[in-house]
Amino acid sequence: MSIYNHFLEKPNGEILSMETYRNKTLLIVNTASQCDFTYQYEDLQRLYDKYKEKDFVILGLPSNQFGSQNPEDGETTRKKCMLHYGVQFPMFNLIEVNGPSAHPLYVDLKNAVTCRELQKSTMQDMMLYNHVLQHQPDFLRGNNIRWNFTKFLVSNEGKVLQRFEPNDSMLDIETAIENALAERAAY
């Protein structure tokens, strides 16, 4: 199924078709307002500012599935992210990303690319693995989203190119974005 067949709910309750983002390169991120990874909002905003003129968009989809780290509604989350982190990229209402109530967009994203093994040889992966194991061990199975701030890079044609774990380097993510945008410019 195409990502453009899905709909998202904005914080004001308005329903938005993913068709809105056709011909744009996307970074789709499940976020949370009270997570140890919230510092990434500033990095994400920097990427959005740097590449938005090249038809690049970041979509923030808050989820409260990971340690109840986004207990407020979508509008409160949007305002908090704008106030504390300067977030200007589109934010949406809370969704679930795992389990039987997972948003259909996330079902498709997870099915499109496999998650990488958490290498127990790196400190960052070991910390993430142990944290998920302690709090949500089921999320280590299959292609589940493991924690907040998992990112999916989607081409301007709607193809899911890559999945990034929450602890992956922003430099690696930026390089992947640049490659996707360069590939687009080549056509």
> Do the beta carbons of residue 30 and residue 110 sit within 8 Å?
no
| Annotated catalytic residue within 28, 29, 35, 44 | 35
81 carries an active-site annotation:
no
Task: Specify burial of residue 131 (Cβ count, 10 A radius: 0-12, 13-18, 19+).
Answer: middle
Task: Pick the closest to residue 167 from 56, 25, 33, 35 (CA basis).
Answer: 35
Amino acid at 163: R
Tell me the two tokens of residue 175. Answer: 């390089």
Residues 6+ apart with CB under 8 A from 83: none
**Active site residue ranges:** 35
